[in-house]
Chains A and B, each alone.
Chain A
Amino acid sequence: MTSTARDGELLARVSQRDAKALGDLYDRFAPRLFGVVVRILHERRRADDVLQELYLHLWKDARSLSETKGSVRAWLVVNARHLAAERLRAERRAQAGAGAHGRERVSPRKLPAGKSRPPEPLFASALPASWIPLPEEVSKLDERLGLLQKVINQLPGPQRKALELSVFGGYSEEEIARELDEPLGKIRTALRAAVTFLRHRRRAVVGTWAAII
């Protein structure tokens, strides 16, 4: 059985409330997902917390995800980044709010003790499910991941820096401009150029386009 077929089979079992299958999906992807989350949150305990939350969402949404025929691997990776980035944003907002009201500043890494955290929405439930890429496309991408990571390093330094702040810092365009002390127009242009470059190179590398890297 291929890796993609195995993912699909496990997802189908999770949608039938098979907890062992969820455990198997955990074993397959938890190290990779933990890597994404801890790079954003910089703290192992909170990364564990987000990872657990992600798998609880998967348990709840498995049936609808299975019906879309989308890639469970892509669902997990994209939502892991999204959940962790949303948590970071919420903490920054809390910190900014505390500062604005002259109260004790809140650590960007922690919420005030005893304060409950509202659940962050996942894209899977907030958007039409067709955002989830097909398993075959994700599998092709994974086969070329090493080469594609080199492509990211080809980005000009300022574009890479802005993209890094977005992907792993959870910053918006405006926040990146403030953080780097650059005009908003310049950051917008840099981010758009970066994602356009990556999209073109990705398509070329996975064979969607006939192009030479």
Chain B
Amino acid sequence: MGSHYLEDVFELFLLGALAEESAADLRAHLEAGCPSCQERIQDAALTVYLLSSTAKSGRPSPKLKSQLLHRLRKGRG
């Protein structure tokens, strides 16, 4: 399967920056299993990971972990 996508759209797709129509088109193309685009999206995810990682760490509510585990237990019960 040939790909007409330029490499620079994959990061923007993952970021949600593309126009809806372009994003839907690329999503359908990926779902059809284009192997070269699968590689590109995986590579693009590394750039999105890097960009997201520029945020400084923070401290969530101290109660959050116990609330989360409580919800899991409730879900299983």
Contact = CB atoms under 8 A, between A and B. Distances in A.
B65 A78 contact: no
B15 A47 contact: no
A34 B45 contact: no
Contact of B17 (A23, A127, A173): A173
Tier of interface size on chain B? 35 or more
B41 A127 contact: yes
Interface string B25-61: 0010011010000100111111111111111111111
B71 A52 contact: yes
B26 to A, nearest CB: 10
Given A19-B72, A52-B68, A52-B71, A131 B58 contact: no
Nearest to A39: B55
Contacts of A204: none
A51 B72 CA distance: 14
Given A86-B16, A127-B27, A192 B51 contact: no
Interface in A125-156: 126-128, 130-134, 137-138, 141-142, 145, 148-149, 152
Contact of B50 (A128, A172, A198): A198
Contacts of A209: none
Interface residues of A, number: 66
Contact of A152 (B9, B51, B56): B51
Given A166-B15, A167-B15, A191-B17, A48 B54 contact: no
B4 interface: no
A34 B57 contact: yes
Contact of B16 (A26, A44, A172): A172
A89 interface: yes
B42 A133 contact: yes
A19 B77 CA distance: 13
B67 interface: yes
Given A31-B58, A174-B19, A192 B8 contact: yes
17 contacts: A31-B57, A32-B57, A34-B57, A47-B58, A48-B64, A56-B72, A128-B38, A131-B38, A133-B42, A133-B43, A133-B46, A166-B16, A172-B18, A174-B19, A195-B11, A195-B47, A198-B51
